[in-house]
Structure 1
Amino acid sequence: MTLTAHELFGWSPEAVVFDCDGTLMDSERHWQEARNRAFREYGLQPPRGFAEQATGLHYEDCGRLMARSVRKPELAEGLTAALLDHFLALVTDDPVTMPGAVQLVRLLSVRLPLAVASNCPRVVVEGSLERAGLSAHFQHIVVPDAGDGVRPKPHPDVYAVAARLCGVRPHRALAVEDSLTGVKSARSAGLRVLGVGPRPQDDSETRADLWLPALHEPELLAWARSWDIRRPLPEP
């Protein structure tokens, strides 16, 4: 059941798990440009509305979707490799945090455990957080890993594992997401979900408990400041 804003703000989580792309890092625009470049590399044009379909997908799933969308399934492997190569080049040259991300993460990291649950490769997540000066604030980073049986979003695995590593029951953790793919993953794992950014038009089946325009909304910061400090404060 989706909560009202009042009900959510009356609750305090015991851990917070953030998505990375589009939530902490302003990298969704890099993924979009990488998709466009990968299509052009193969002499193709992205179909109308493809960006909306691809948002939040694991890059391998996105590569397969790219190939299917132009009816060339034989290009799936090549498009996937090109997509990742172009994205890594773009995000390395221009890492940018989302508005309010640094402030909120620093505010929360002295209060409770923080984790990242992402569909991106670990090297991308770790590099992005390091360049943004945020890596020290997160205790855990969870990404899809076939070897460990951790499936990508919209499966619940990354959020379920992140909550477990933070030492809390899923229903006591808050997920922060920007895409319906991520919201579905977090809700399936049992977490409460705060959506940030533009609210998707078609969220009738998979809803966050609350959507806010950005991470620096005054009501969100006030709510976070109200949580008890449960972690040791850093040395002065």
Structure 2
Amino acid sequence: MTANTLLAWTPAAIVFDCDGTLMDSERHWEKAREVVLAHHGAAPDRDFARRTKGLHYSECGRMMAEFAGAPALAEQMTEQLLDNFRRLVADDPVTMPGAAELVRKASAFAPLAVASNCPRDVVEAGLSRAGLLRYFKHVLVPEGEVRPKPAPDVYLEAARLCGAAPGDALAVEDSHCGFLSASRAGLRVLGVGPRKPVDEPPAVDLWVSTLADPDLIKWVDSRSS
């Protein structure tokens, strides 16, 4: 699907990632990782931040423990990671540029859901503080038999709960892990971020640098009016 085709289409449901897509919280994950690793005598490099972006927190904790040379501490470091992240989000629940406007307008023409690798309490608390939680019919996180991204489960379940076939739904994502999850589920994918990845080609139908992109706003206005 070309960019022009995507913006001529009306999805039956829209499923948003949360961290780095709706909420400006990816920096909080980075800071939380830095704090925990520093406590264990290690410092993450840029490549480590790239490899852990969008991963489930338990997988991130495991990678942190291995990076610090203390694999037996994976569970402990995961808990420390979550504790630090929750504190940082509570202190600074800021939305990404354009996110609030896009969500409000999109909710007028399509059911909305969130699909995240974060704990449910973190996702719902952050969106609630930002005044956005009420626009979402469903919040999907890895629970029970639902596997974390990059498995397709959260996107498949989100589309099902919204009453849409995966191919009729749009995913909005910012990480390679999320792109893989959504594309494996069969959703069309809107990628967002300042720079389109070049070393790991994402499976996206359209890339925008921000959710405040003028063409994207024009599209959502045309569907919600």
Which of the five TM-score ranges fits, normalised by the shorter chain?
Answer: over 0.9
Distance in 2 (alpha carbons) for counterparts of 1:186 and 1:44: 33
Question: 1:150: which partner in 2?
Answer: 146
Q: Is the 8 A contact 2:113 2:138 kept in 1?
A: yes
Aligned length: 224
SS of the residue 1:95 aligns to? coil
What does the per-residue CA deviation read over 1:171-190, in whole Å, with 9 as the maximum and x for residues that have no partner? 00000000010010000000
Q: Given the alignment, which residue of 200, 211, 217 partners 1:203?
A: 200
- Seen in structure 2, the aligned counterparts of structure 1 residues 192 and 70 have a Cα distance that, compared at 3 Å, is same
Question: 1:43: which partner in 2?
Answer: 41
SS of the residue 1:49 aligns to? helix
Structure 1 position 52 matched with structure 2 position 50: yes
Distance in 2 (alpha carbons) for counterparts of 1:47 and 1:75: 20
Question: 1:103: which partner in 2?
Answer: 101
SS of the residue 1:227 aligns to? helix
Instruction: Note the 1:66-215 alignment, pairs <5 A.
Output: 66-145=64-143, 147=144, 149-198=145-194, 199-204=196-201, 206-215=202-211
Structure 1 residue runs of 5 or longer lacking an equivalent are: 230-236
Q: What letter matches 2:153 in structure 1?
A: D
Q: Given the alignment, which residue of 19, 22, 25 partners 2:23?
A: 25
Structure 2 residue runs of 5 or longer lacking an equivalent are: none
Deviation at 1:52, TM superposition (A): 0.5
SS of the residue 2:223 aligns to? coil
SS of the residue 1:203 aligns to? coil
SS of the residue 2:198 aligns to? coil
What does the per-residue CA deviation read over 1:70-120, in whole Å, with 9 as the maximum and x for residues that have no partner? 332112111111100100010001110000011000101111100000000
Deviation at 1:50, TM superposition (A): 0.8
Q: Is the 8 A contact 2:57 2:82 kept in 1?
A: yes
Q: Is the 8 A contact 1:47 1:69 kept in 2?
A: no
Structure 1 ranges of 4+ moved more than 6 A: none
Question: 2:4: which partner in 1?
Answer: 6
Distance in 2 (alpha carbons) for counterparts of 1:210 and 1:48: 26
CA RMSD of aligned residues (A): 1.2
